[in-house]
Amino acid sequence: MILPLVSELLARIARRPAVEEACDKLRRSGGEVRLAGLTDSAKALLVPLVFSELGRPAILLVDSNQRAEALLEPIRWFYSAVTGKPGRRVAHLPAHDVLPYENRSPHAEISEDRAVALWRLATGEVDVLIAPVQAALWRMRERGFYPGLARTIERDQSIAHEELIGFLAAAGYEKHVSCEMPGQFAVRGGIIDVYSPETPQPVRIELMADTIESIRAFDPNTQRSTNPVERALLLPLTEMLRHAEVLERQRVGSGSGREDDTAPAGFYAGWEFREMPREERPGVLFDLADDPVIVLDEPSMLDAAIEKYRGRLAEAFDKAEDPLAEPPDRYILNGDEWSLALQLFPQLAVEHLGLAQEGSTTLTVQTQSTTRYNGDVAAFMNEVRSRLGAGEHVMVSAASTGELERFADICHEYEIPYALGELEESTTVSRLAEEASGSNAPAMVLVKALLGEGVVFPEAQLVIYGDADLFETLPAQRPRARPKTASFFSDFSDLKPGDYVVHVDHGIGQFEGLRQVVVEGATGEFMFLRYAGDAKLYVPLARIDLVQKYQSLGGVEPQLDRLGTTVWENRKSRVRKSVSDMAEKLLALYAERKTAPGHAFPPDSNWQREFEDAFEFQETPDQQRAIEDVKRDMESSLPMDRLLCGDVGYGKTEVAMRAAFKALADGKQVAVLAPTTVLAFQHLETFKRRFAAFPMRIEMLSRFRTDKEQKKTLEELEAGKVDVVIGTHRLLSKDVKFHDSAWRTKSA
């Protein structure tokens, strides 16, 4: 919950004369008003302020999808701070990732994001929409069409079984034997399972005749119900409804017979772009909102982006070999239509360097970028102290709870009062709130927000520091949850038809590709495996954990196993016996190790939590389990002896860095042994980037260093001035001595 203190500080910007005059002109006469002098962070704040002041939806047009994504999180936070409403009322409408003439369908995630954004805009669920100008150029259906893309169902509601299934199919859901991932549904008699996008769990809908008797959330892993719910919102996955008549037109009119994995069953790739010109599309994006204000981010850049996009479309149309290809104007607005669409709504142009334009009013808001301190805490805190002493208001954003806690510790160390700008259900934040409540002196306001860069408003005496202004850390990301089948496409990324695989229950077979198979009326995707005697085995993708690629020394081709025999089971029995014999020897060895003393590291510190919160990706379940296991080993009084295995890109280095940080926090030094000089250098760069926000020194010993540099590193390592040393076998030399050597990690 963002506290009123923050809203009051941001409201100072809304009261600046230039902002007040701009809002007044937009409110009274419309037309175009230009606000100049704005940094990107200032623009991100200004858009929610304009919505709040005018009480009208704001549609922000930018020059690319990348620009829209970069502004999304800052605008969401500023929107919540200004209005007190949840950030989900700020939406992003992405542009299509393919052109109409490429015989490809849009990416499934982009189709889903577009459908949900259009539905929310048309139903009044969006106050701020961020859209690349390429998306805004496309012709739209009438506003009344888009609310029908989603559907809300409630307990005791009357709805026909076939009607609900028909809606799910039309909205882009795919029928499967079991419902395990977003965008799927399954039917078992009167029970329909649906996994709607952007929901934590799927729902199980039980119909009695044509009445919904119950709706229950359920765990997609166990398929067991968890709790009853009164209603559920079924969001769309596509803006192009897949009705039966549309499918029939595709079958009749495709002509090319082209197929593609990205297209839904029965539809050819790119069918959406063939269907669009057949629809009545009289509207534009702006018609879907209630009297919006159009915010233009750097109009000159928007004009250039429009010209470039029109050129790409025209060139692709000229090269299209399809005789039925429609010209670009059937998809997007022409120049006159675009100009007219803009003129019908008030426009606010936001610019960094504004130039006077005929027919528009140009106003200026003074803003400056904040200074980057690159880890110089003393200089940063001196500036904060100086600004507070001069009567300025200072706000500092932290990308994570751990970083927020670190800022609070720094404030204590430098005796600078601070106040929390937002609260959340966290024992750490609650403790910080109690600590911060006792001072009436001017305070630095700490907030948890993804603001990559800060901004200074000199006239308003307000400074907002970005989360990377003090420490050069990568911004926190919010990636989509990976689907369960993602591991298949990583583990088997080099798998091709003809490769050998091993099924845990059936032995060695050959992978022949993926197949669509209909089981009890539901279409599912299966791995097709071939065994001896031309026997076939279909493995559902939900059980790919039973299959792994066959590995052999020297590329020896194995003999295929025969389905239905005991040969494979006998082979597994022999292996179990060998493993059992080896286990007995290992037990004796580990019994001896249990008697050896080790160093017990303390539990995680605040710095450890901050370091881990700064990780720019979401930990995979296996990675998280490895991290916990390593920490448990380190906190034990027994010597650690753990081998961490994983393919390239699976996050082994991050696990090692967290273990290294834990050792450093207890005053130990860390050595990282790499097999090659190149890998040692890569680890050096990775460690330096991840440890940049902390006072730890990292050096390398390898042939990339001169003899003089290596000698200096060795001396400082022995003196305890080097915290982490990374190197090849050079680390095993007799002259490598540590000040307090207690922990080492090997990098495979």
Give yes or no: residues 616 and 738 share one domain. Answer: yes
Lowest mean pLDDT among 343-347, 439-443, 507-511, 636-640: 439-443
Query: What's at 500, amino acid-wise?
Result: Y
Please say whether the beta carbons of 189 and 199 come within 8 A: no
CB atoms within 10 A of CB 66: 10
Q: At what angle do helices 677-690 and 652-665 cross, to 10 degrees?
A: 60
Helix (H) or strand (E) holding 511: strand 507-519
CA atoms lying within 13 Å on the CB side of residue 299: 20
Residue (of 50, 14, 536, 117) closest to 292 by Cα position: 50
Per the domain annotation, does 601 fall within a domain? no
Last residue of a domain, one of 178, 210, 234: 234
pTM, 2 dp: 0.68
pLDDT for 312 equals: 94
The per-residue pLDDT for 320 is 87
CATH number of the domain enclosing 196 = 3.30.2060.10
415 lies in some domain: yes
Q: What are phi and psi of 177, to 5 degrees?
A: -65, -40
Name every residue whose Cβ is closer than 8 Å to that of residue 694 and which is 6 or more positions away in sequence.
607, 611, 661
The answer to whether position 475 is within a domain reads: yes
Angle between helices 4-14 and 65-83 (to 10 degrees): 110
> Which region among 9-13, 102-106, 534-538 has the lowest average model confidence (pLDDT)?
102-106
Asked if the model's pLDDT at residue 249 lies above 90, the reply is no
Q: Which CATH number covers residue 546?
A: 2.40.10.170
Instruction: Check whether residue 182 and residue 326 sit in a common domain.
Output: no
Highest mean pLDDT of the ranges 133-147, 486-500, 573-587: 133-147
Query: pLDDT grade, residue 461 (50/70/90)?
Result: very high
Q: Is the pLDDT of residue 419 over 60?
A: yes
Same domain for 260 and 120: yes
Nearest in space to 42 (alpha carbons), one of 400, 473, 466, 385: 466
- 81 assigned to some structural domain: yes
Number of structural domains (the chain) is 5
Question: Under 8 Å CB-to-CB from 681, ≥6 apart: which residues?
Answer: 700, 702, 704
Bridge pairing between strands 500-503 and 547-549: antiparallel
247 and 229 within one domain = no
Rounded to 5 degrees, φ, ψ at 488 are -60, -45
- The better pLDDT of the pair 392, 573 is held by 392
Give pLDDT, residue 482.
Answer: 40
Within a domain: 83: yes
Q: Return the CATH number at 331.
A: 3.40.50.11180
How confident is residue 17, by pLDDT bands cut at 50, 70 and 90?
A: very high
Q: Name the pLDDT band for 257 (thresholds 50, 70, 90).
A: very low
Note the pLDDT of residue 487.
38
End position of a domain, from candidates 364, 391, 408? 364
Residues 136 and 188 in one domain: no
Whichever domain contains 684, its CATH number is 3.40.50.300
Same domain (yes/no): 171, 291: no
What is residue 142's predicted lDDT score, i.e. its pLDDT? Answer: 94
With beta carbons less than 8 A apart as the criterion, state whether 27 and 342 touch: no
Of the pLDDT bands very low, low, confident and very high (cuts 50, 70, 90), residue 385 is very high
pLDDT tens, 72-83?
999 999 999 999
3-state helix, strand, coil in the chain (%, to 5): 40, 20, 40
- The identity of residue 218, as a single letter, is F
Query: What is residue 730's predicted lDDT score, i.e. its pLDDT?
Result: 86
Residue 23 binned pLDDT confidence (cut-offs 50, 70, 90): very high
For residues 285 and 340, membership in a common domain is answered with: yes
The domain in which residue 138 lies consists of: 17-27+41-146+242-364
Answer yes or no: are the C-beta atoms of 735 and 712 closer than 8 Å.
no
Has residue 489 been placed in a domain?
A: no
Burial 132-164 (b: 16+ CB within 10 A, else e): bbbbbbbbbbebebbeebbbebebeeebeeeeb
Phi, psi for 64 (deg, rounded to 5): -165, 165
Whole-angstrom distance, CA of residue 291 vs CA of residue 56: 7
Q: Are residues 249 and 120 in the same domain?
A: yes
Tens of pLDDT, residue by residue over 164-178, are 999 999 999 988 888
Give the mean pLDDT of 365-381.
89
Alpha helices in 552-620 (DSSP H): 567-594, 606-613
119, 162: one domain? no
**Same domain for 283 and 378:** no
Greater model confidence, 394 or 523: 394
DSSP string, 247-316: HHHHHHH--S----TTSPTT--TTHHHHHGGGS---B-GGGGSSSPEEEEESHHHHHHHHHHHHHHHHHH
Contacts 24+ apart (CB under 8 A), 252-256: 253/324, 255/324, 256/103, 256/322
Select from 324, 343, 364 the last residue of a domain. 364
Q: What pLDDT digit, counting tens, does each position of 320-334 carry?
A: 888 888 999 999 999
Q: What does pLDDT average to over the chain?
A: 85
Confidence of residue 146 (pLDDT cuts 50, 70, 90): very high
C-alpha separations of 398 from 421, 614, 629, 744 in Å: 11, 10, 29, 32
Whether 436 and 421 share a structural domain? yes
Q: Is 671 helix (H, G, I), strand (E, B) or coil?
A: strand
pLDDT of residue 493: 54
Residue 52 is encoded by which pair of tokens?
A: 């709040």
What pLDDT score does 516 carry?
A: 77
State the Cα–Cα distance between residues 423 and 447, nearest whole angstrom: 9
Of residues 748 and 702, more confidence is placed in 702
| In a shared domain, residues 246 and 359 | yes
C-beta pairs of 705-712 under 8 Å, 24+ apart in sequence = none
